[in-house]
Amino acid sequence: MIGAAATLGAARRAAAKRLSAGLGADATPALDARLLIASALGMAPDQLVLVDDRTLSEPEIHAIDVAIERRLAGEPVARIIGEKEFWGLSFRLSDATLVPRPDTETLVEAALAWIDRTHGRDAPLRIVDIGTGSGAILIALLSALPQARGVGIDLSEGAARTARENAQRLGFSDRSVFIQGSWSASCCPVDVIVSNPPYIQRNVIQSLDREVKDHDPMLALDGGDDGLDAYREILRDLDRVMQPGGAAFFEIGYDQGDALGSLARLAGFEGVIHPDLAGHDRVVELIRQN
């Protein structure tokens, strides 16, 4: 309990203290407290300090307590508040979507770098996002590419619905569609294919961080026995779906660069690996061999 904190400022400090005592060493208690309290009060997080002396009502204190207790029980902030920032945009989440990760911005950057080299950002590119989840990758790309259009596909109907809602809220619904289905539902050749498919080896899922294994959907994590099932399925059809002169960008696990390179070569593609900010292999860029 944050106690009968009279003002918002006192509640923020009490909440941060509680989180700091209850969460591990790499926790971010002050930031978590700010995001959770802002959400509980329906305010923008960056406005909170301006109203530090505002008195809180009983129901407000209760709502803050509930959020802090959920955080202390190990739930990620993004799950509690139901949204996560990615590429400077705020994405709604649901049980059916992964929480977008900062590392995945590497994929958006790699795709944009290729577009800058080959087409320019004003080109009317067609994009497919496989396993779109909250729609974060596709919508981030559309936000940087004013003439592009895209299809987001997900096996989960719930994810397709959440992605559609995000496109609507963020103003991209006239340039995007989101459909439930498998990758083969993609109808016609496109210029850019992006995907953050499930790539965790099935037997290591139980050793993942609790914030991941207990709160992210299994369908978005489980990559089969060697973690590569989704890539095999996508590569099988890539030739049909990729427009000549197009490219594909897949997020990969930090240790999957070599394996993906081999799979891609077998399927007739050349792979270039892009590291994330921590220097780990994170994205593979595929173009047709010759």
Residues that bind ligand GLN (CB under 6 A): 98, 101, 196-200, 208, 212, 221, 251
Compare residues 135 and 197 and give the one whose CB is closer to ligand GLN. 197
The reply, when asked if residue 173 is annotated as ligand binding, is no
Q: Which is nearer to ligand GLN, 133 or 150 (CB)?
A: 133
Nearest residue to 3 via CA among 63, 53, 65: 65
User: Is 166 annotated as ligand-binding?
Assistant: no
CB of 196 to ligand GLN, least distance (A): 5
Shortest CB 216 distance to ligand GLN, Å: 7
**What's the maximum distance between 2 C-alpha atoms anywhere in the chain?**
69
DSSP string of 118-185, one letter each residue:
HT-TTS--EEEEET-TTSHHHHHHHHH-TT-EEEEEES-HHHHHHHHHHHHHHT-TTSEEEEES-GGG
Q: How many helices (H) and strands (E) does the chain have?
A: 10, 9
DSSP state of 281: E
Contact 72, 15 (CB under 8 A): no
Beta carbon of residue 64, minimum distance to ligand GLN (angstroms, whole number): 29
192: β partners: 127, 247
The answer on whether 231 is annotated among ligand-binding residues is no
* Residue 197 annotated in ligand binding: yes
Report the residue number, 123 or 205, with the smaller CB distance to ligand GLN: 205
Supply the minimum distance, in Å, between the C-beta of residue 159 and ligand GLN. 13
Separation between Cα atoms, residue 58 and residue 78, nearest integer Å: 25
203 is in an annotated binding site: no
Cα–Cα distances (Å) from 272 to 37, 126, 257, 289, in that order, read: 43, 21, 9, 12
- For ligand GLN, the closer of residues 15 and 159 by Cβ is 159
Tell me the pairing of strands 190-195 and 126-130. Answer: parallel
Nearer to ligand GLN, 114 or 250 (CB): 250
Nearest distance from residue 195's CB to ligand GLN, in Å? Answer: 9
Is 196 assigned a ligand-binding role in the annotation? yes
Q: Is 133 part of any known ligand binding site?
A: yes
Which residues contribute to the annotated binding site?
Answer: 131-135, 154, 183, 196-199
Residue positions forming the annotated binding site for substrate: 196-199
